[in-house]
């Protein structure tokens, strides 16, 4: 170890002990990349823990968030209500050598769910102008508040069915995205216009996650009537009431962290949605904290090898898209989503269909039919696609325009199974 690196490590340790995790992480990354310690042009985002009393503010999922020290005071001096928090933090601690290894691996990802070639600046949603809407269509900004919290959202109301839409799709964006970017990249508004659907795009705020990721990995955000699931469900119910929609015409979909949260919504609110679309996501219960989230994303064992399920829950019809070249969310996670969605009991039929998109991307479409012969699960494994929305538009981030059109296929799957 050279003198400069050793000096950097000592600075990182001092910063960590002072609870300045962001500075410690920056110093380590500078040392790994060979930048001088004073070079702060590529400094990492602030990933420090929230103040102790702000227990509703979640810890952000970010690859730079690997070093977590216990509070400066010993546990015996802590108030009783914080002892649990301290114990949880201790479970997340890593030796410095392990931290360096993880940071070295995750530098290539440049974010909790990575950055892609052509995906725009790391750490930011792609800046997109307001869309040009068909005459009579609307895309208003709204907000929703309930006891679990508040979120804003954009709602696409099609000109083809402004008063009596055929259904509702809840679209949950990925990390470092926002509703406008996600709408532009997926092209879901155009698909919704064709089919007379309303589409809601809830916005995850930087105040609730530094990378604007939905907190799918936190136990508090994996439960019905609590946390982010309660907020998203509240938005869903508000729109259902406004347009007189029943469960058979309501669907939830998402990309990456949004796909993982779509799986959470399908598991915790099976009475609210009739189908789910999960793109480059993870199965419900694959993680319960930051470290297990990284393990699950890498396709490693632990919780991800046997995702938990809530008892006596209806399994939603599910369509899954996954790129075979995804280096951010390992493709094995798609297999776990499919396994969790397959109906129980004997008699399910499996059919595999190879194909190729108009732009030349090869894919394998696997269809699982329930004992009555109705398609219950579809799994599209697309060759050569990374961590990106298949068939998306370059106007948005995290898209691969050459793959089969995930937005059109999801809507087709949703509507084919309407009750």
Taking residues 239-248, report their average pLDDT. 96
Helix axis angle for 188-195 and 179-186, nearest 10°, is 70
User: In the structure, what pLDDT confidence band is assigned to residue 32 with cuts at 50, 70 and 90?
Assistant: low
Of the two residues 348 and 245, the one the predictor is more confident about is 245
Note the pLDDT of residue 380.
98
Q: Which range is most confident: 1-10, 13-22, 114-123, 151-160?
A: 151-160
Helix (H) or strand (E) holding 276: strand 275-279
Taking residues 135-155, report their average pLDDT. 97
Evaluate the CA torsion angle 187, 189, 194, 197 in order and state its sign: positive
Q: By C-alpha distance, which of 234, 237, 320, 305 is closest to 275?
A: 320
pLDDT in tens, 156-209: 999 999 889 999 999 999 999 999 999 999 999 999 999 999 999 999 999 999
Q: By C-alpha distance, which of 396, 380, 65 is closest to 213?
A: 65
| CATH 3.40.50.1820 boundaries in the chain | 141-416
Please provide the size of the chain in residues. 419
Of the two residues 333 and 11, the one the predictor is more confident about is 333
Are the CB atoms for 362 and 383 separated by under 8 Å? yes
User: Architecture of domain 141-416 in CATH?
Assistant: 3-Layer(aba) Sandwich (3.40)
Note the pLDDT of residue 129.
80
Note the pLDDT of residue 97.
56
Cα→Cα distances 147→58, 151, 262, Å: 16, 12, 21
Beta bridge partners, 197, equal: 167
Note the pLDDT of residue 300.
87
Average per-residue pLDDT in the chain? 79
pLDDT in tens, 373-412: 889 999 999 999 999 999 999 999 999 999 999 999 999 9
pLDDT in tens, 72-92: 333 333 344 343 434 434 444
Note the pLDDT of residue 370.
87
pLDDT in tens, 313-364: 568 999 999 999 999 999 999 999 999 999 876 678 899 999 999 999 999 9
User: In the structure, what pLDDT confidence band is assigned to residue 306 with cuts at 50, 70 and 90?
Assistant: very low
pLDDT higher than threshold 70 for residue 234: yes
Taking residues 48-67, report their average pLDDT. 39
User: In the structure, what pLDDT confidence band is assigned to residue 130 with cuts at 50, 70 and 90?
Assistant: confident
pLDDT higher than threshold 80 for residue 102: no
Interatomic CA distance for residues 29 and 33, integer angstroms = 6
3-state secondary structure of 189: helix
User: In the structure, what pLDDT confidence band is assigned to residue 56 with cuts at 50, 70 and 90?
Assistant: very low
User: In the structure, what pLDDT confidence band is assigned to residue 275 with cuts at 50, 70 and 90?
Assistant: very high
Residue 18 C-alpha from the chain's centroid: 31
pLDDT in tens, 39-55: 333 333 332 333 433 43
User: In the structure, what pLDDT confidence band is assigned to residue 95 with cuts at 50, 70 and 90?
Assistant: low
């Amino acid at each position: 170890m050279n003198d400069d690196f050793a000096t950097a490590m000592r600075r990182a340790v001092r910063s960590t002990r002072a609870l300045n995790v962001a500075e410690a992480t920056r110093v380590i990354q500078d040392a790994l990349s060979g930048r001088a310690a004073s070079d702060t042009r590529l400094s990492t985002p602030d990933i420090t823990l929230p103040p102790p009393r702000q227990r509703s503010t979640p810890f952000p999922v970010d690859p730079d968030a690997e070093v977590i020290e216990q509070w400066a005071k010993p546990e015996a001096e802590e108030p009783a209500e914080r002892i649990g928090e301290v114990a949880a933090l201790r479970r997340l601690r890593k030796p410095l050598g392990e931290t360096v290894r993880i940071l070295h691996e995750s530098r290539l990802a440049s974010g909790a769910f990575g950055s892609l070639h052509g995906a725009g600046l790391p750490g930011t949603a792609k800046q997109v102008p307001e869309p040009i809407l068909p005459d009579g269509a609307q895309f208003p900004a709204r907000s929703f508040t309930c006891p679990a919290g508040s979120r804003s959202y954009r709602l696409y109301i099609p000109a083809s069915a402004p008063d009596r839409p055929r259904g509702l799709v809840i679209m949950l964006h990925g990390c470092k995205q926002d509703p406008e970017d996600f709408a532009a990249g997926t092209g879901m508004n155009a698909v919704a216009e064709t089919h007379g659907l309303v589409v809601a795009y809830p916005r995850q705020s930087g105040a609730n996650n530094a990378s604007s990721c939905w907190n799918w990995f936190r136990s508090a955000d994996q439960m019905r009537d609590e946390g982010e699931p309660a907020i998203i469900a509240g938005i869903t119910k508000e729109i259902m009431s406004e347009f007189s929609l029943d469960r058979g015409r309501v669907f939830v979909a998402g990309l990456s962290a949004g796909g993982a949260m779509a799986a959470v919504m399908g598991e915790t609110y099976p009475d609210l949605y009739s189908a789910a679309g999960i793109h480059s996501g993870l199965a419900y219960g694959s993680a319960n904290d930051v470290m297990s989230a990284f393990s699950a994303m890498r396709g490693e064992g632990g919780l991800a090898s046997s995702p938990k399920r809530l008892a006596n829950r209806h399994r939603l019809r599910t369509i899954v898209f996954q790129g075979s070249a995804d280096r951010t969310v390992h493709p094995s996670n798609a297999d776990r989503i499919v396994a969790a969605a397959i109906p129980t009991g004997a008699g399910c039929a499996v059919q595999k269909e190879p194909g190729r998109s108009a732009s030349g991307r090869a894919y394998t479409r696997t269809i699982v039919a329930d004992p009555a012969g109705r398609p219950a699960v579809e799994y599209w494994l697309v060759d050569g696609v990374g961590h990106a929305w298949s068939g998306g538009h370059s106007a948005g981030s995290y898209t691969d325009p050459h793959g089969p059109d995930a937005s059109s296929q999801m809507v087709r799957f949703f509507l084919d199974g309407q009750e």
